Each structure stands twice: as structure tokens, then as C-alpha cells.
Structure 1
Amino acid sequence: MASSALTGKVEADVEIKASPEQFHDMFTNKPHHLHHACNDKIQGCDLHEGEWGKVGTILNWNYVHDGKVKKVKDVIEAVDPDKNLLTFRVVEGDLMEEYKSFRITLQASPKSEGSGSVVHWTLEYEKLHQGIDHPQTLLQLAVDISKDLDAHLTKPN
């Protein structure tokens, strides 16, 4: 059996009104505030080790996926403020019950016309076995979180 059938990548773009910098800053430097924007999806994010927004930092997340409360521990692998890019690698938690490896990259870019941004999500993974679904519902969760965060970032004070 070829291992390539177990590896995959799912991607989505989300148009938002917030600037790329606002979106990137929230995920990179203030993920512990995300639950204010979408507490039905993200219940909390705690700093396990390191500093907010720095490569090598380890974060613990509590989130809701498919109606169940789940946990994940991830390491920040890449931060590029110039490109508003952030990459997490999952090291522990519920996802590791189904995936050998799981990497999440989000990048916010300015829209070609007008204001706002396009957030590009990439989930790269290796499943433990063939019986595991591609993480489409997780990708949808990322899209929904992006929309909630956008509403939070752009609402009038």
C-alpha cells in the first residue's frame, strides 16, 4: 500500500473585511482572545511554553468540533509577519488519534480590489489508516472561525 494515499492536503479561502494584519495579529499574538469572537467553537487557548507569536511556542487549545469538546497541543513552526503567515504543527490531542501528522497554515493576504483580505487555510496531514476521513469538517471549522473573527474585528466599538 502506498503511503501517499494516507497523506493529503485540504485548502480553503475565506474573504473577510478585516485587514490581513488584524487577522494575523489575532491568531499570532492574541490567540487567547479568540474565544471572545467564537466561544461556541474555541473555548480557550493557553500558553504552555514560550511566548505568544514566537516560533517554538507551544499552545494548548480547547475547541468544539462535530459537536464534541476537543483538545489539541501545537507548536508554532513558522511566523512571517510580512506575509501574515502562521504555521502550527499538532503534537498532542484528539487529532493525533486519527493522524500521524497534522500541520495547519493560515495566511491572510490583501484583496486585489478594495479593502479586506483573503484568508487561505491549508491543512496538511497523514492519516493513521485508510478508514479515516479527510479533515473537511475541520477545514469548515477554520472557515467558520475566520468569519466569526472577522465579525469581531470589524464590529463598531
Structure 2
Amino acid sequence: MSKLEVEIESKSPADKLWEAITESNTLFPKVFPDQYKSIEILEGDGKSVGSIRLITYAEGIPIITFAKEKIEVADQANKTISYSVIDGELATFYKTFRATLQITAKGDGSLVKWSVEYEKANDEVPEPDLVQDFALKTFTGLDEYLLKA
């Protein structure tokens, strides 16, 4: 099992950023139409353990057209969420693909920690740098959006 981690310092307060993450089903396609075409809730409420979401990516996103995610951890008190990709291109490239997001207060802003544990399906599969860059772009863009809102 391999792991990638990203830390992003955000100017937005942790509570405001966490609220935006919990509303990502509607917020992300609106704020990032060049990245997210839609996010549908297939099971559950889209926020709690067991919920399954179907993310359809915008045209122009390389390699990946959709991902089906299942929420495995949803800890409101610690602003932490973990989900596994259970269908889509990532599920064919990686035997396991589990991402964790945690937001903690840091001064007036917050610290976003995003990590992914993964196991490649075979040696030809590249490291998930593309996914890491996508996450970095999303969280940086979300901070900019919230500061203007």
C-alpha cells in the first residue's frame, strides 16, 4: 500500500471550509464547472457513512470521466471524511483507492490535509499525481471562492 499526502494552508476559517466540503454535492459543480460536471447522491445523504456519490468529471479532465465513492468515515467533530473509490477509471487502475480529508483550525485560517492510500492494479499504472494535483487545485480554488463569498 502506498500513500500520497498534500497539506494546504487556507485563509478560510475551518468551520466555513468544512461546511463547504459537506455541501460539495451542489457547490463543486457550481464553483468548478471546468472540473466537475455533476455530483449525484446514489445512496444515503451524501454526507454520512455508507453514502455513495457518483462524481462525473467535466470534459477536458484527462483519463477520468467518473468515480463512484463510498463514504467510510464521517467525523463532524474532527472535520474528517474518508471515502473509497468503488467504481470508475480509478477503480480499474488501483485495487484500493481510499482518500481522507481533514480540516483543522490554524490561526484565523485552517490547514487542509488530504491523503490517499492506494494499491496499483499493476506496475504499468502511474502514481496518482494527477489526482493529487486535482485535489490541490480544488482546495485552493475553494479557499479563493469562500474568501469572496
Q: Could you state the TM-score of these two structures normalised by the residue count of structure 1? A: 0.87
Are the aligned partners of 2:64 and 2:89 in contact in 1 as well (CA < 8 Å)? no
| Deviation by residue 1:75-133 (Cα, 9 ceiling, x = unmatched) | 1110111111011111101101211111011111111xx31111000011111011111
**Alpha-carbon deviation of 1:140?**
1.0
Match of 1:121, SS state, is strand
* Runs of 4+ in structure 1 over 4 Å off: none
2:70 paired with 1:61: no
Stretches of structure 1 lacking an aligned partner (at least 5 in a row): 1-6
CA distance in 2, matches of 1:105, 1:116: 20
CA distance in 2, matches of 1:19, 1:36: 21
CA RMSD of aligned residues (A): 1.6
Q: Could you state the TM-score of these two structures normalised by the residue count of structure 2? A: 0.91
| Deviation by residue 1:14-56 (Cα, 9 ceiling, x = unmatched) | 1111122222222224422212221111221100011131110
Match of 2:137, SS state, is helix
Partner of 1:126: 119
CA distance in 1, matches of 2:24, 2:125: 32
2:144 paired with 1:151: yes
How many correspondences in the alignment? 148
Range that drifts further, 17-26 or 96-105: 17-26
Range that drifts further, 135-144 or 28-37: 28-37
2:78 paired with 1:83: yes
Are the aligned partners of 2:6 and 2:132 in contact in 1 as well (CA < 8 Å)? yes
Are the aligned partners of 1:24 and 1:86 in contact in 2 as well (CA < 8 Å)? no
CA distance in 2, matches of 1:68, 1:36: 22
CA distance in 1, matches of 2:105, 2:61: 31
CA distance in 2, matches of 1:102, 1:68: 16
Partner of 1:137: 130
CA distance in 2, matches of 1:29, 1:66: 22
2:66 paired with 1:38: no
Q: Which has the larger radius of gyration?
A: 1
Are the aligned partners of 2:50 and 2:72 in contact in 1 as well (CA < 8 Å)? yes
Range that drifts further, 85-94 or 34-43: 34-43
